Structures are given as structure tokens and as C-alpha cells.
Structure 1
Amino acid sequence: MSWAAHDLEPYVIQKHLGRKIAFVPLLVGSYAPDMLSKWFVYGVSLADIELKADTPAQFHRGWPGAGFTHSLLFGVLVGLILYAIWRNKVVAYSFVIGQWAHALTDTGDTVGSMLLFPLTDHLFALGAWAYAGQTGRYVDAGAYFSGLGFVWDGVFVVWGILSWRVLTRGYFRDTVAVADPFWRWAGRYLSETTLVMLYRASFFYGVARWTAWLIWAHVVRSFAFDLRWGGPRWVPRIYADELNAAPACKCPGCCSMRPRLGFYGAVALCAVAKGRSASLRGALAGAPRRRMLKRRRRLKQRRREAEN
């Protein structure tokens, strides 16, 4: 699970898609899977009654349970319902993109997500950080902000800050409010200043949440950092193969606790990055030659025109 990425993902997506996306359904989609399940993982108390899942990981990500909320098909079905109600394709696929971003992000822990449910209830996991939701909110927070989970959220914090232009009033007025019908409706009752404040709220909440939990985990409580793959090792973790039905499964989800998976992934990313950088260097190196050839062709064409 992620603690701040789901707050910040929509702003990064907004930056890249601009008017092609509607922000409010995108944000709701990013929150939707955990809105329907997370509260029961940690438990809530009503008077003397405590409501909590007996097997939190099974309920949160598995089946039977609410794990279907982290499947790709769930986002599509809700998107179709939204389209049936509002007849707006942008609203529908914006929710789908937000929900898919959440489901894919949650494959980063050791339990993962049932991405292909109901075709299979198999959990797909990368296993970069420990899933410890069964330990309770505070131990889970300490574990998450002591392993690679806080690094993953930090990527979105930095990425979001680098995308700061999406937070400006001008961007909101010219791009966000134009593409999303919610803001046009809300603008009948609220001032633009209030709308901009509401639009920015999730971003600042995500950054503040990431910062506050990090300080709490290592200044107030002194949890130990463990940035090894699948860490921290000091917390009781749950793995995908404990919930997946197939015995001795060799898929990446069930082998997610093995550090070599992360190593292979890093090598693959480096290879892709190197290939792209080589292509870019080649393109940049060839640019002067292409310009020279264009000039020669233009000169030849002018000479022919002059001769004629």
C-alpha cells in the first residue's frame, strides 16, 4: 500500500494529460480502492464494538474480500457506470486512469493487487516494501516509512513539486476548470479562490502527510531504517504467495520477496534508459547533418528555378 502516492499521482497525471483529463474523477479514482476497504483493515471502534477484518491482508487485497477494488476491471465497470449517468467520456476514463494508477502502485508491496480479477484471483506483486497492514496503523506506518515505500512516495513528492505549474491559478482556470464539469458546477456557488484551494488540497495534504509520518517514524518513535528489497525485515510481513492459491508458484508476485527481482528490474530500467539516451544522442548528433542536407536541397531547387 502507499501512503502519499495516491494523493499526488493525480497532479502528475494532470500535468501530462492537461485538458484531456477531468481532475475530480481522476482524484476519486485514485482514492476509491482504499476508501472501500482500508478502514476495515485497521479497524474502527463504535462505542464498545470494534469492527476489523479477521485477516486484514485477505480482506484488503484478496478474494473473498475487497481485493476486487484493486483490479483493473473494477475501474472499468465504475467508469461505465459514470458514463451511463453523465454521458461524459472524459469523466468516465478519468476515473479509470485514477483507479488503475492506484492498483498498479499497490503492486509495489509484498502482497500486491489482483489486477486481473475475476479472470484470476492471483496477486501480482513486485515486493519492494513490506505489507504490514495486519499490525495496525502505527506499526504499519513505521514500517512503510522505514523501507522503500517512503522512497516511492518521495518520488511522487519530488515529481509533484517539479510539476508545480499545475497548482497555479492560471493553469486551474485555463486547463483544469475547462476540462472538468465539476468545477463549472461548483463555480456557481463558490469563488474561484475557494475552488483553487479545493483543487490544491490533496497535493498539500499528500506532501504534509509524507513529511509528518516520516518525522513521526524516525524522530518521535525511532523506527529503524531498512532499505533492503522487501524491507523492513523487523516487521511481520505478508507475501503474495501466502494468499495466492497456486502452490509453489514461480510468478514474480510469489517470488516478490527475492531481491534478485528488484535487481533484474533495475537492470532492465537502466537498459531502457541507456537505449533511449543513445537514441537521443543519435538524434541530436544527426540534427546538424539533416539541416545541412535541407539547405542543399533548397539551394538546388532555387538554382533550377533560376535556370528555368
Structure 2
Amino acid sequence: MNIKTLKIFCDLAELKSFTRTARLHQISQSAVSQHLHSLERALGLILIERDKKNFNLTPAGKKILEYASQIVKLHEQLVSAAAEMTNTVAGTIKVSAIYSLGLHFLPPILKTFMQQNPTVFVHVLYSTASEVYNAVLTHSVDLGLVAYPEHNPLLKVIKIAEERMVVICHAHHPFSQRQSLSIKDLQDQKFIGFEEKVPTQIAIERVLRKFNVRVNKVMEFDNVETIKCAVEIEAGIAIVPETTVTQEVARGTLKAIPLIEPEMYRPVGVIYRRDKVVTPAMEAFLQALMKKTN
């Protein structure tokens, strides 16, 4: 029995998935099973009911989870205290980010941070907004990166940036010749959006309603990469963060036109649990993220 095995058990209990737990720890599903079997053998207890349809902790598993969670948290505190004593910035940081931030906003920050802190390993997971919140709340990750951060009494929220939103279209679309657009110019246009529950789409819909603009929504997706692909095949136009289309604009496969009436900016925030032990490595990473606003 070791700390890693206890941490894997805690994550497995929270995520209720061998696949997601394996992805989080960057190991195979069979390795997750081996850790679980090892813990069960060491304790002489069955911790998880073997049912292919459902995932449930046994009564013993629920009790062991309470102790295991405490031990894992104490271990984090110990590592943090030792690092502070030696002024060492080292360790692993687990970050869950929505796709657009993880693929476009985070990489340049991460590159600089890793160059300055070579003894810190940052593990990034790409997720939907709801998955990011869940991962942070269940202690599965240390930090979350989201757009339009929501208030939650259990979470600390730090605003780190605002991303300008632009209209994107194919190079052959009439909008491609425009220098700017009003939201009213989008009336009756074929529109490709995010899924309804995505915070960015909620904000877009709010602006459309405010200006009494109707679009013809022909497709919706849960991530910006698929939206861009749909616009590239001339399925319609879309509103996305400007940072997500710099490569396509440079290649000439998409045109990005600023919205000026009204201007739209997407707030970006980092979230973590208020009761989270902030290690020196986490503090250094938070500082790197907050420099984005300067």
C-alpha cells in the first residue's frame, strides 16, 4: 500500500470510471485495476462491487475512502510544507481545461512556465465545462480553466483574461470582405454554434436576444475545433474566440471579422477548491496564469 495507490482509489471512487481514472494518471486501465486489487489484498476487503452496469463502493469501500482521502490530503500538505522549507518549486500539477483554452490559450503560458520551472510537471486534461467543474470539486485535478466562470461557494475563482470574440466565415463568404460586423448583420445567417449548455453559447444567445437577432442555427458542437471545421466546409458562420483561429486565418482557410456593435469579450478564469492545499508549484503556476492579464 502506498500513496499513489490510495490516490488512484480516491480518484476511481470519485470519477466512477476506470477509463477516466487511467487517463487522469496516464496509466492503463489494467494498471488501475492492479492498484485496486493490491489495496483490497492489503486490507483484506472488497472495496468496489463488480458490476459491469453500475459502479458502486461497498460499505467497506465507503469507509476506507474516508480514511484514504484524509491520508492523501495530509500527504499533499506534507509535500507542500517540505517544499516551502527548502524553497523548492517542484511536483505535479493537474489541470483540467475546456478545449479552446487547453488547445489555444494555455500552450504559450505552459511553455514559458516549464522553461522557468523544469522540475514541475503539468498534466493537462481537455474537457467540457461541466467536466472541469466536476474534476475540481471532486479533487481529481488541482486547477480548472473555464470561460465565463460560475460562482460556487466551494471554489476560488480568479479572472485571468478576456478573449475577444470574432465572427468567422469561409474565404468565399460575403462577410470575408468586411472589416467589421454588427451583431444585426448576422440576421438569418446560417449559424454554427456550441451546444446549448456551453457557457460561451449561452453568452452568444444572450447577445442575440438583446439585439433581437435571429440566426439559422444549422449545426451545434461541444468544442471549437469541430465548429471551425464546419465553417471551413462552408456550412455557415460562427462566433468564436479570436485566439482559437489564428492559424486558420494565417493559412487563409478562414476569415475572422471583429464584432463592433456590440464588442464581445469572453472572460477566462482559473478555479480551484477553497480548501485546496496550494503548493509552491501551484502558486507559481497561478502567478504565470495571472501574468496573462498584465
TM-score interval, normalised by the smaller of the two chains: under 0.3
Q: Radius of gyration: which is bigger?
A: 1
Q: So what's the TM-score if we normalise by structure 2? A: 0.25
The structure with more helix, counted as a fraction of residues: 1
